């Protein structure tokens, strides 16, 4: 019963057209509180310089980061051209277009990730459970981390008690599609990465950190 269940709404999420991307952007602004755990950990990491965000969506998080960290530049990657169009407009409205650059692409695309260069921080929020081939994406992202840099993934965590909650919605389905720490450790084992940190964050999130200087 605790088995991971892949999401059924990904096509709507990633291919819903420009109107859906606009609606998604407005919802993301109202739910910015969901990034509090990520931002708290980011502050403790104290990383300056070049950031790479995978699955940037409408850029609500990217804007928050550069507004709070003047020494950061972000390259933001998203699968959806519609999401990128909405994000560029939002970033432009904040006057931050010189600090956030957008790329339409897929974390599974090794050639694309390699062309982007090296980054002091590579991160993704609430994206791990979406990836069709998470091992491939993690491998690609790890290679994009500069010496001394960090790969930081913040995502939902599947919890057993959710299966007793008679609720089915996009958010709850995403939790059912999320990975537990044991499964994440299995991914790193398969990739030959043995130095990392996984923190369970109440009530159903997790923080995953890989430091380049620890495993290369």
CATH class of 10-215: alpha beta
Q: What is the pTM of this model?
A: 0.91
pLDDT of 173: 86
What is the per-residue pLDDT across 79-121, written as a single tens digit (0 to 9) for each?
A: 999 999 999 999 999 999 999 999 999 999 999 999 999 999 9
Q: Give pLDDT < 70 ranges for the chain.
A: 1, 8-16, 162-165, 167-169, 214-216
| Alpha-helical runs (H) found in the chain | 10-14, 17-30, 36-45, 60-68, 81-93, 110-116, 134-143, 170-177, 181-191, 212-215
Helix axes 60-68, 81-93, angle to 10 degrees: 30
pLDDT of 27: 85
What is the per-residue pLDDT across 129-149, written as a single tens digit (0 to 9) for each?
A: 999 999 999 999 999 999 999
**Three-class secondary structure of residue 137 per DSSP:** helix
pLDDT of 216: 41
C-alpha distances (whole Å) from 74 to each of 51, 101, 176, 210 are 5, 6, 30, 19
Residue 122: count of CB within 10 angstroms of its CB? 30
């Amino acid at each position: 019963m605790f088995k991971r269940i892949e999401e059924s709404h990904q096509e709507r999420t990633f291919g819903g057209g420009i109107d859906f991307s606009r609606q998604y952007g407005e919802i993301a602004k109202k739910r910015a509180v969901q990034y509090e755990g990520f931002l708290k950990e980011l502050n403790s990491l104290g990383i300056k310089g070049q950031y790479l965000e995978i699955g940037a969506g409408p850029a609500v998080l990217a804007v928050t980061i550069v507004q709070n960290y003047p020494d950061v530049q972000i390259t933001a990657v998203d699968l959806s051209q519609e999401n990128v169009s909405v994000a560029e407009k939002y970033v432009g409205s904040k006057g931050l277009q010189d600090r956030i650059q957008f790329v339409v692409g897929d974390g599974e695309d090794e050639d694309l990730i390699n062309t982007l260069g090296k980054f002091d921080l590579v991160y993704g929020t609430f994206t791990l459970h979406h990836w069709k081939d998470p091992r491939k994406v993690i491998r690609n992202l790890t290679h994009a981390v500069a010496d001394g840099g960090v790969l930081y993934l913040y995502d939902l965590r599947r919890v057993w008690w959710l299966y007793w909650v008679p609720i089915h919605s996009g958010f709850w389905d995403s939790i059912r599609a999320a990975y537990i720490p044991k499964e994440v450790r299995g991914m790193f084992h398969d990739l030959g990465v043995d130095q990392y940190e996984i923190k369970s964050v109440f009530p159903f999130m997790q923080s995953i950190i890989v430091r380049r200087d620890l495993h290369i």
